[in-house]
């Protein structure tokens, strides 16, 4: 094995660690990075046989999933790679297969974002107020697309504690020329009551509900009570495959909430919450705006690789 190959292998491991602590980028961006890492892992493989290569890619895939346990695109990426390398192939052919699948996954992510933006256009009319939160490139693309299509609207964005990535969203939308107001998260219900539409991104969607930035559940409850449309912008790469048991999300550093907190004050810092599907007005996918029932039927048609259906290895640990 060359020194260059060993160096690349170390860099890949370090990059997975960087994904694990990434608390600003959305699921689509992180999924693209994961696809690149899958390619680099395959090309830097030290495996001496196809069987060993498959085992290494399976273990590496699990490390990606554990890095961001509530981001479904990572599960779908790994699932596609594992199915693709099932067929008998030489080592070189297996590497090429991984590259093709991972590159195809990245291309599909971008295409889905375009189709979702087109689907969301039907929800956005002139003169409305739209409420959102957190940082979602899918949401940003949809709003930008609507603006370019001639729609005129304003956006209210929650700051998205504790990382405050909502500020970045507000800055991007303002740069586009979209009238944007940034508010504290606790004020979002009052704005939803006066708005005509709520749109959010998604990290994971299953029959159990929508996983997205914490605060989404409260927004959905308010929208439901006030009769305001609440939609998740969610390509199928965000769907959880039936049979996969999502990992428990990590507790994040308490210092992000209160660095000088007394030791006897317990601080819970989690980035994501779960919104029941019955609170959603619909889900905007690459196939258009669909009701929840259609998503459940779609999920039933997908297939999970056996290696991902097995009991997950390792335990999630609380960070301090």
| Strand (E) or helix (H) holding 17 | helix 3-20
Closest by CA to 81, choosing from 35, 124, 126, 117, is 35
Query: Looking at the chain, how many residues does it have?
Result: 320
CB 6 within 8 A of CB 25: no
Sign of CA dihedral 301, 247, 278, 31: negative
C-alpha distances (whole Å) from 59 to each of 29, 237, 238, 297, 313 are 22, 21, 21, 30, 10
Q: Is 215 left (phi over 0), alpha (psi -120 to 50) or beta?
A: left
Q: Distance between CA atoms of 228 and 33, rounded to whole angstroms?
A: 35
What DSSP string runs through 170-186? Answer: HHHHHHHT--EEEE-GG
Encoding tokens for residue 271?
């980035």
Question: Given 93, 203, 251, 273, which residue is catalytic?
Answer: 203
Q: Distance between CA atoms of 215 and 246, rounded to whole angstroms?
A: 20
Q: Distance between CA atoms of 233 and 138, rounded to whole angstroms?
A: 7
Q: Distance between CA atoms of 17 and 102, rounded to whole angstroms?
A: 20
Closest by CA to 45, choosing from 84, 5, 82, 72, is 5
Q: Distance between CA atoms of 231 and 150, rounded to whole angstroms?
A: 21
- How many CB atoms are located within 10 Å of the residue 30 CB? 20
Is 185 one of the annotated active-site residues of the chain? no
* DSSP class of 233: E
Q: Which residues are catalytic?
A: 203
């Amino acid at each position: 094995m060359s020194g260059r190959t060993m160096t690349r292998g170390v860099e890949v491991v370090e990059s997975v660690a960087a994904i694990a602590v990434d608390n600003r980028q959305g699921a689509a961006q992180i999924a693209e990075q994961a696809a690149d890492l899958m390619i680099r892992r395959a090309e830097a493989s030290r495996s001496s046989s196809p069987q060993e290569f498959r085992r290494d890619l399976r273990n590496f895939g699990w490390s990606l999933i554990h890095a961001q346990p509530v981001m479904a695109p990572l599960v779908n990426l790994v699932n596609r790679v594992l199915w693709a390398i099932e067929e008998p192939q030489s080592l070189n052919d297996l590497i090429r297969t991984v590259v093709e699948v991972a590159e195809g996954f990245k291309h599909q992510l971008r295409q889905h974002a375009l189709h979702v933006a087109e689907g969301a256009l039907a929800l956005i009319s002139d003169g409305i107020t739209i409420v959102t939160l957190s940082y979602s490139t899918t949401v940003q693309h949809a709003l930008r697309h609507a603006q370019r299509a001639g729609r005129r609207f304003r956006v209210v964005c929650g700051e998205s504690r504790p990382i405050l990535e909502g500020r970045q969203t507000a800055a991007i939308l303002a740069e586009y020329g979209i009238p944007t107001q940034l508010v504290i998260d606790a004020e979002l219900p009052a704005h939803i009551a006066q708005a005509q539409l709520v749109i959010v991104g998604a990290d994971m969607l299953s029959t159990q509900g929508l996983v997205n930035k914490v605060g989404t559940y409260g927004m959905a409850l308010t929208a439901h009570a006030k009769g305001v449309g609440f939609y998740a912008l969610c390509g199928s790469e965000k769907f959880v495959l039936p049979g996969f048991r999502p990992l428990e999300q990590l507790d994040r550093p308490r210092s992000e909430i209160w660095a000088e907190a007394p030791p006897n004050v317990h601080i819970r810092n989690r980035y994501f919450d779960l919104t029941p599907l019955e609170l959603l007005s619909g889900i905007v996918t690459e196939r258009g705006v669909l009701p929840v029932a259609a998503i459940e039927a779609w999920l039933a048609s997908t297939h999970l690789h056996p290696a991902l259906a097995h009991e997950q290895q390792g335990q999630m640990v609380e960070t301090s």
